Amino acid sequence: MADSEGGFSDPSILENLVASYGVVGAVVFGALVPLLFSIILVGKKKVKQRGVPVEVGDELGFAMRNSRYTELVEVPWEGATTIAALFEQSCTKHSRDPFLGTRKLINREFVTAGDGRKFEKVHLGEYQWETYGEIFNRACNFASGLIKLGHNVDSHVAIFSDTQAEWLIAFQGCFRQNITIVTIYASLGEDALIHSLNETQISTLICDSKQLKKLASISSRLEILKNVIYFDNDGTASDSGFSGDLRNWTVSSFSEVEKLGKENPVHPRLPSKTDIAVVMYTSGSTGLPKGVMMTHGNIVATAAAVMTVIPELGSKDIYLAYLPLAHVFELAAEIVMMSAGVAIGYGSALTLTDTSNKIKKGTKGDASMLKPTLMATVPAILDRVRDGVLKQVEAKGGLAKKLFNIGYKRRLAAVEGSWFGAWGLERVFWDAIVFKKIRSLLGGRIRFMLCGGAPLSGDTQRFINICMGAPIGQGYGLTETCAGATFTEPDDPNVGHVGPPLPCAFIKLVSWEEGGYKTSDKPMPRGEVVIGGFSITAGYFNNEEKTKEVYKVDERGMRWFYTGDIGQFQPNGCLEIIDRKKDIVKLQHGEYISLGKVEAALMGSNYVDNIMVYADPLHNYCVALVVPSHQVLEEWAEAAGIKYKDFSELCNKEEAVGEVQQSLSKVAKAAKLDKFETPAKIKLVAEQWTPESGLVTAALKLKREQIKNKFKDDLVKLYERSM
Ligand SMILES: *[C@@H]1O[C@H](CO)[C@@H](O)[C@H](O)[C@H]1NC(C)=O
Ligand SMILES: *[C@@H]1O[C@H](CO)[C@@H](O)[C@H](O)[C@H]1NC(C)=O
Ligand SMILES: *[C@@H]1O[C@H](CO)[C@@H](O)[C@H](O)[C@H]1NC(C)=O
């Protein structure tokens, strides 16, 4: 995922923009027309109430529901109480509509970069589609094949693979036989994988051919595993060299299992809504991963609720799927798409755009081939898109930059005045001259983007709104709440919040006295975010203690999950996440420091690519580990005449540390941080923090414990040396 921004650093984005459109006309238009329109500005719109207070069984806290629904939503339509029922009914209803699309591999080659590293480049063809009817038959065949293969229906099946069509087919197939699926993040390490498979007693593992190769080295530690099924659609499996000498596993290809099932049909054995559909292993920020048990009812409720938010969702839509399906956000999104009869085209983060790392030069990326109308993203990707576009604009300079800035300001004014769409002619003009090129990066037809996984900054949200010309539905939720908690509404022009409760859940704030957040706070009630309703999952697999700690059932029988996030309700009922319990440290003199808040502020320095603030409760100040931006720091070093062999040597230079520290102090001051919130000492870390390194999650959130562990000596030194 980290590489997906590759496509947005295409140096030709703004090229020819100015040349091909009348420059003088543009500037005149940009200056005069707005002036004219400003005169006819009308007054402010009335604020729409999106969330309203609701009484819940539990006296504790302050609860809110979606204003559009007085009762919680549980199903998208009557009778669709399980994912299996939802799938079957949707496939019947849309049987002739395209459902899953995959690009055929035309060829694959390796290029060697200047430094000797080898890169894979692929040339991918057009999307090949299968209809809802065809996919339904494949899922049924797979289900039968699985039973014929000897899988015991009372044991679980694990899927460990990159996102692809067969993932969803295997998933639906298992539900035809009431089999629980275990999913595991592909970015989790070997130990986490072994732990998850062992804890859930997996006898059948479904994986892609890339993962298949890795299994060989850990086979001796997978005692219970009997069957391995691998996806053989990418043309590499046949030569994967997976020899049969690995214990006594039965290794079959996905198509073999489908064929077996087609020849030996087995009666379906459908689940009920309270049966566990998925045990989803997520990276805990500490220790071993936890398996969250989701019922069919949980996932269906989230899907039903999200469907009410995306405007005019239907079979005319095309969704680009590329985020990991082992993550609840992507899984929920694809179930939503399936329920609405949307066509889902599969891609990957490394092949997303024409200039993505893995795309062969001169051939098309997934987005420009698919021309999707909908896609899901995570904030880290959108931040990079924004930075990429801004860098382009900066690099172009001159007139192109001026035009972009005027166009952006004009659109911003229109959007912020909730004028979305009202500026007919001017909007068309700016779209043509500035934004069309940027939009074409993602195929040019995006009409709605879903964003989740972490909070999105208001600036980025605006930027993407304007440049992509589409609203962003920002979702807030956790694996434990099956994603569904809050979702911003597309007609809401405001940023900086995560929307009102989804119709499937209530959101409650509970005072956290110790941390200083109370529901009686003015002007807005604040407290720990607690989520209740149909999307609240059944708890952690094999861990009753932890389950009891964070899940509660109230006297009316409603399940609530305590998130550990701190939030506040805006006057219109939208939730704003302002902090995280875990990330607040009480310093020696009793002040509370919010690490996340300080980090967000310090990210404002150009030098900072990533940063982790660390506060030792035995001191009265904080320190920080900073991953500096290579480009910015190197440019500074050159200008300052600093000599160095490589980047890590530069990071150790006192001058470099001093320069970055000074920049941080400046940013801290501008953000009105207190003295104890400004890092007293910093260390520059040359290496990037990536999900592969285990220092950030798949959604690029910091894994504090892991980072702290890796740099523990440095942190000790930072405290020793300071003041
Ligand atoms: C698998 O789990 C069992 C207990 O259920 C434990 O005794 C065993 O050591 C585990 N094996 C591995 C490889 O983790
Ligand atoms: C595989 O099966 C054979 C015979 O069925 C048995 O002797 C052998 O111990 C098994 N190997 C493993 C690694 O389980
Ligand atoms: C589905 O499987 C679970 C676990 O094996 C079982 O408890 C449940 O009764 C099954 N559901 C139905 C409807 O048969």
* DSSP bridge pairs for 509: 62, 529
675, 619 in Cβ contact below 8 A? no
Domains of the chain and any CATH numbers: 11-40+376-444 (no CATH), 83-271+309-346 (3.40.50.12780), 587-722 (3.30.300.30)
142, 257 in Cβ contact below 8 A? yes
Angle at 223 between CA 220 and CA 224, to 5 degrees: 145
Angle at 30 between CA 29 and CA 31, to 5 degrees: 95
pLDDT confidence of residue 496: 86
Residue 210, pLDDT > 60, answer yes
Q: Which two three-digit tokens encode residue 231?
A: 């996806």
- The alpha-helical segments, DSSP class H, found in 155-272 are 165-175, 190-199, 209-218, 254-263
- Overall average pLDDT of the 488-515 stretch: 92
* Cβ(220) – ligand 2 distance below 6 Å: no
- Overall average pLDDT of the 405-426 stretch: 71
Q: Kindly list the protein residues whose Cβ atom lies closer than 6 A to any atom of ligand 3.
A: 154, 178, 271-272, 275
- Residue with the nearest Cα to atom 11 of ligand 2? 247
Q: What is the pLDDT of residues 620-661, one digit of tens each?
A: 899 999 999 999 999 999 999 999 999 999 999 999 999 999
pLDDT confidence of residue 397: 82
Q: How far apart are the C-alpha atoms of 111 and 359, rounded to whole Å? A: 12
487, 288 in Cβ contact below 8 A? no
Output the CA torsion sign for 423, 424, 429, 430: positive
Residue 25, pLDDT > 70, answer no
Q: How far apart are the C-alpha atoms of 665 and 657, rounded to whole Å? A: 12
| Distance from Cα 275 to the centre of ligand 3, integer Å | 6
- Residue with the nearest Cα to atom 1 of ligand 2? 248
Strands 98-112 and 62-66: unpaired
**What is the full DSSP assignment across 392-445?**
HHHHH-HHHHHHHHHHHHHHHHHHHTT-TT--HHHHHHHIIIIIHHHHHTTTS-
pTM of the model: 0.81
Q: How far apart are the C-alpha atoms of 285 and 288, rounded to whole Å? A: 9
- Residue with the nearest Cα to atom 10 of ligand 2? 248
* Cβ(221) – ligand 1 distance below 6 Å: yes
Residue 354, pLDDT > 80, answer yes
Q: How far apart are the C-alpha atoms of 371 and 367, rounded to whole Å? A: 6
Question: Nearest to residue 51, comparing CAs of 450, 505, 482, 465?
Answer: 505
Q: How far apart are the C-alpha atoms of 468 and 442, rounded to whole Å? A: 9
pLDDT confidence of residue 283: 72
> Which span out of 133-147, 509-523, 552-566 was modeled with the highest average pLDDT?
133-147
| Range in 17-21, 217-221, 411-415, 507-511 the model is least confident about | 17-21
| Distance from Cα 247 to the centre of ligand 2, integer Å | 7
